[in-house]
Amino acid sequence: MSPRDKKPDSYMNSFRFAQKLLIVIIFLIAPVGAADYEALNNSCINCHKSLSPFTNEQLRFNDIRSNHTERNISCSLECHEDIIRKKASDNFQQWSDSSHSDYSVTCDACHGGNTEINTIEGAHSTIENISDPQSPIYFKNIPETCGKCHATELDHFKNTMHYQRLRAESRAPSCVNCHQPHSFKVLHASEITPLCSVCHNTKDQVSSANIPKDAKFALEKADELKEEIRKARNSVSDAKAKGKDIVSSQNDLDKAIAIMKDVPSLWHSFNIKDFDRQIQVGIDSAKKAQGKLSNAEPTAPSVPGFGITLVLGIFAVLYLIRKR
């Protein structure tokens, strides 16, 4: 092959290299969102991520996984990851997997401290001990600390017996009992019964022992509402594509969606009967939206230019009347 034959390949390689170089440059100079930039440069994160090496248990499972892979043994990644997560208690890792991390809510939002200082002494200088009543994470202060961001949930929670008991004594639940510190998870219906049963049981006789079961059914109904909204959305979308009148159904769907959006605040009132009643209203509205569309007829197609023709016709009649 002559040098002339090789020339196109050389040009193509240079072009591909230039493309890759341009992508790298764009990536490096791309602007970072203000919230992301603040989180990446937060002194809590700078230190605590480096204080979070793999635990011995994690290293052991990684070795097992590598050994299985090398020997072509079928290995369930999910299985090992699940075991690792259950055994790991690293606060930074839990936070980095949480929604707080997604929204750049860093350690100082709950613990306090000075995020502009990178020394241990300086960053921690204003942090009170968890047993100090002035600490934002002192057990009685936790609702107000969470309420700085979750104001609506706090307003509902303040009207509950849980909150009143918490103010009066230590044996009462607050936000972290349900959502867990650092992971801030939202409980599923299957997880609520054992948690509520810690206090609501036949032995301790705190309120009704049926509450754990009732709470589970209430959350399952919230899941049912979510499913009915999904079905109603699909029905409205299909009906709209077929030219059907969707106005009334859309109003019913919007009502169901509004209730679904209000589920977190409704739940924090811990009035299970009221929660169940309002969720049922949402389910009925979503089903009503679907029912209306099943028998709806397509709307008459509009005639292009009909409005203009009507106006011209009126002017013509007026002209003839005037001429007479």
pLDDT of residue 57: 59
CA 259 from chain centre, in angstroms, equals: 16
Q: Which of 114-123, 200-209, 248-257, 301-310 is the least confident region?
A: 301-310
Average pLDDT over residues 140-162: 93
Helix/strand/coil for 262:
coil
Whether the CB-CB separation of 44 and 115 falls below 8 Å is answered with: yes
Encode pLDDT of 270-287 as tens digits.
Answer: 999 999 999 999 999 999
Q: How far apart are CA 102 and CA 133, in angstroms?
A: 30
User: Token digits for 172?
Assistant: 């009462």
Name which of 220, 292, 279 is nearest 251 in CA terms. Answer: 292
Q: Which of 27-36, 100-109, 288-297 is the least confident region?
A: 27-36
What string of H, E and C letters represents the secondary structure of 173-197? CCHHHHHCCCCCCCCCHHHHHHHHC
CATH class of 211-294: mainly alpha
* Confidence grade of residue 40 (pLDDT, cut at 50, 70, 90): low
* Confidence grade of residue 106 (pLDDT, cut at 50, 70, 90): confident
Encode pLDDT of 141-151 as tens digits.
Answer: 999 999 999 99
The domain locations on the chain are: 90-186, 211-294
Average pLDDT over residues 194-211: 80
pLDDT of residue 19: 52
User: Token digits for 305?
Assistant: 């230019």
